[in-house]
A and B are shown apart, each in its own frame.
Chain A
Amino acid sequence: MPLNWVLVLTTFLFCVGVYGVLARRNAVIVLMSIEIMLNAVNLNLIAFNGALEGDRLIGQVFALFVIAIAAAELGVGLAIVLLIYRNSFTVSLDEVNLLKW
């Protein structure tokens, strides 16, 4: 399978994730967009693992580590979102500007 195709797909998904992080208002949707970006990176790692010579599977090992760290990040992130909701009754990122100025 051509490496190109996979790379364009991962770039597209990453850019969709970037758009979601920048544009969406709900903090949970922003976390979902971050998951899409991390998944695009995982696909990149696996594609390059298949495209490079040699039998070692380092790309897949890194993809597994990225999945584990993404799970940890999501747990802490959702806990923070819940805490924000409990304190200010909103998860809209436009209104969470306590630390801004």
Chain B
Amino acid sequence: MQGLIFLVVAATSGFAAVRLVTNKNLVHAALYLVVTLMGMAIIFLLLTAEFVAWVQVLIYVGAVIVLLLFGLMLTRAQIGKTALDRQQRWVAGPVALVLFGVTAPVLWRFFDGRTISLDRQSGNTEALGTEIFTKFVLPFEVVSVLLLAALVGAVFLAKKD
């Protein structure tokens, strides 16, 4: 059952990702990104990582998409068929294909037979919080300082002189 849901969600997610990088309408690209990210959140839920799944929904689908749509609107993105790809497009396809063709079979064969255990007891948010606030306190604080620095930097860059 979980395998079936995973296959359906993975197919949807991958298709939306492909459409994101190939379609012509830039606002539709942002909406395809929503589909991809929601699919990833569902897969996180399937892999019993429910806290990360909800953080994904809140931050990515909530905040990041709005930010990207604002970016598209504020830069008056051209919507239409004119010149979507760069001059170096001809390398992009082969690079991506070779990367996938080399990496995927290697990973497939090397991790053959390993399974992800899905029978953890539900509700690992408490364990996750304990982990963050006992073993990972210093990185957590560093990330908060980094977010503050990024906030100040973004405001400084984007403000009008």
Instruction: Say whether A16 contacts B49, CB under 8 Å.
Output: no
A37 to B50 Cα, complex, angstroms: 21
Chain B nearest Cβ from A55, distance in angstroms:
7
Interface centre among B51, B86, B115, B117 (most CB of A within 10 A): B86
Please encode chain A, from 27 to 40, with 1 for each CB lying within 8 Å of some chain B CB and 0 for all others: 11101110110010
Instruction: Say whether A23 contacts B21, CB under 8 Å.
Output: yes
Chain A nearest Cβ from B89, distance in angstroms:
5
**Interface residues contributed by chain B, number (CB under 8 Å):** 87
Pick from A11, A56, A65, A73: contact of B100, CB under 8 Å: A11
Which of under 10, 10 to 19, 20 to 34, or 35 or more describes the interface residues of A? 35 or more
Whether A1 touches B3, Cβ cut-off 8 Å, given contacts A67-B56, A71-B63, is yes
Where chain A touches its partner, the secondary structure class is helix
A27 to B84 Cα, complex, angstroms: 11
Instruction: Say whether A28 contacts B68, CB under 8 Å.
Output: yes
Instruction: Say whether B26 contacts A28, CB under 8 Å.
Output: yes
Instruction: Say whether B36 contacts A19, CB under 8 Å.
Output: no
Closest to B44 in A: A46
Contacts of B17 in A (CB 8 A): 12-13, 16-17, 36
Chain A nearest Cβ from B83, distance in angstroms:
6
Near B by CB (< 8 A), chain A positions 41-88 give 42-43, 46-47, 49-51, 55-58, 60-61, 63-65, 67-76, 78-83, 85
Pick from A1, A16, A74, A83: contact of B67, CB under 8 Å: A74
Instruction: Say whether A32 contacts B84, CB under 8 Å.
Output: no
Instruction: Say whether B52 contacts A32, CB under 8 Å.
Output: no
Pick from B75, B91, B111, B147: contact of A71, CB under 8 Å: B147
Contacts of A78 in B (CB 8 A): 67-68, 70-71, 154
Instruction: Say whether B6 contacts A25, CB under 8 Å.
Output: no
Interface centre among A5, A19, A27, A58 (most CB of B within 10 A): A19
Which residues of A pack against B, CB within 8 Å?
A: 1-9, 11-20, 22-29, 31-33, 35-36, 39, 42-43, 46-47, 49-51, 55-58, 60-61, 63-65, 67-76, 78-83, 85, 91-94
Can you name 5 A-B residue pairings with CB atoms under 8 Å?
A32-B33, A55-B120, A57-B127, A76-B157, A83-B158
